[in-house]
Amino acid sequence: MPAKQKIAIIGGGLSALITAQNLADRYDIDLFEKARGVGGRMSTRRADPYQFDHGAQYFTARTKPFKAFLKPHIESGLIQEWTPQVLTLEKGEKPYKRDWFEPHYVAAPHMNSLCKALAAAMDINIHLQTHITALEKSGDGTWMLQDLTNESYGPYDAVIITTPSHQAVDLLPANFLNLPLIKDVKMTGCHSIMIGFDTPPTLNWGAAVVKNSPIEWMAVNSQKPDRTSDFSILITTRNDWSETHIEDEIEAVQSIIINEFQDLTNISADKISHISTHRWRYANTLQHADKDKDNNNEDTHHNYFIDRDQKIGVCGDWCIKGHVESAFTSAYQLSQDILKNGL
């Protein structure tokens, strides 16, 4: 029986793990993640006694493959529906209730629990805290990888990159098919402000959509299913506001957002016992890699990229939208292409 081809997957978010899960039976896979754990933006920050889902807040399921993927995890309780009281808030205006007309899900007990479970269930090599910075093609057509410490890994028959588009461009060879389209992708940032309270404040919402403010969204993180944290709130900013302030000092951003929070909720900053801020440079897709730049129809977007001459695939939520389902869909479609047609 011939040996399995070896594939390196760069990234440790949902796209990377779904790709690995779909290909693991046929290929020998090494996965490289620069952070301390898997999850990407399906992440959880701990600051005892508080916990914060400071990346993806929730997700919906609208496509048959994603629903089928989620079904056993819903049955096991790893994925649960989140049903908070949702209000729309705006300074100087009366709040009003918002209805959700489809299920909104979270992983439990933390948002990164899904990715951790996927990683633990697979027989693949996972290299954490390994920041891949370069690919080098050997004379026999295989790939070697180099990390930030100049350590080398390989050889690999193929490479799949699941990083944000700007980071993918830095890794891809100059002659990669459709590289100019990937270079045209514009991503936008976001700030996540995490606050904890010794004494829970009185609120009439579990989540809030905010209008006409640097703040876009607030959620009582500790009230999500199966959370055991002390009372915590996660605040996220509007993408356009964050993009304007992406290089500002974190303390300056934090101060602006806390002032907004006080004005919106009438909760004094003196009541906050913990505060921290995370800057996401690549939180959402502003401009896609369009097949037809004169047509803004979403059907013209590349959901993934593959160059069989180079033996490199590229996928990620940024190919579609900055959503959890987009990360799954991009990886699912790329992996199905590879299973059907090879790489």
pLDDT value of residue 1 = 61
Rounded CA-CA distance 279/276 in Å is 10
Q: What single-letter amino acid sits at 21? A: Q
Does residue 319 fall inside a structural domain? yes
pLDDT exceeds 70 at position 294: no
pLDDT exceeds 60 at position 27: yes
pLDDT value of residue 267 = 95
Question: Band of the pLDDT at 322, cuts 50, 70, 90?
Answer: confident
Does residue 1 fall inside a structural domain? no
Does residue 51 fall inside a structural domain? yes
pLDDT value of residue 2 = 72
pLDDT value of residue 284 = 87
Does residue 236 fall inside a structural domain? yes
320 touches 301 (CB < 8 A): yes
Residue-wise DSSP of 99-140? --SS--EEESSSTTHHHHHHHHHS-SEEE-S--EEEEEE-TT
CB atoms within 10 A of CB 69: 18
Question: Band of the pLDDT at 328, cuts 50, 70, 90?
Answer: very high
Range of the domain at 166: 6-341
Rounded CA-CA distance 34/132 in Å is 7
216 touches 264 (CB < 8 A): no
pLDDT value of residue 301 = 65
* Mean pLDDT score, 227-235: 96
The sign one gets for the Cα dihedral 249, 251, 252, 253 is positive
* Contacts by residues 324-328 (CB-CB < 8 Å, ≥ 24 positions apart): 324/14, 324/42, 324/56, 324/59, 325/59, 325/60, 325/61, 325/62, 325/63, 325/66, 327/13, 327/14, 327/15, 327/18, 327/40, 328/14, 328/15, 328/18, 328/65, 328/66, 328/69
67-71, 157-161, 299-303: least confidently modelled range:
299-303
CB atoms within 10 A of CB 98: 13
pLDDT exceeds 70 at position 81: yes
Which carries the bigger pLDDT value, residue 84 or residue 300?
Answer: 84
Domains in the chain, number? 1
pLDDT value of residue 285 = 83
Rounded CA-CA distance 142/268 in Å is 59
Does residue 84 fall inside a structural domain? yes
pLDDT exceeds 60 at position 209: yes
| Closest to 306 in 3D by CA, of 319, 321, 293, 288 | 319
Contacts of 76 (CB under 8 A, 6+ apart): none
Does residue 88 fall inside a structural domain? yes
pLDDT value of residue 292 = 53
Q: CATH number, domain at 185?
A: 3.50.50.60
pLDDT exceeds 60 at position 291: no
* Cα distances (Å, whole numbers) of residue 42 to 13, 148, 155, 181, 331: 7, 24, 30, 26, 15
pLDDT exceeds 80 at position 91: yes
β strands within 5-81, DSSP E:
6-10, 28-32, 45-47, 50-52, 79-81
Does residue 117 fall inside a structural domain? yes
For the chain, percent of residues with pLDDT exceeding 90: 91
Q: Which tokens is 225 given?
A: 């299913």
3-state secondary structure of 316: coil
Cis ω for the linkage preceding 49 (within 30 of 0): yes
- Tokens 């027989």 locate to 123
CB atoms within 10 A of CB 272: 17
* Mean pLDDT score, 137-154: 96
13-27, 154-168, 292-306: least confidently modelled range:
292-306
Rounded CA-CA distance 330/161 in Å is 12
pLDDT value of residue 233 = 98
First to last CA, the chain: 20
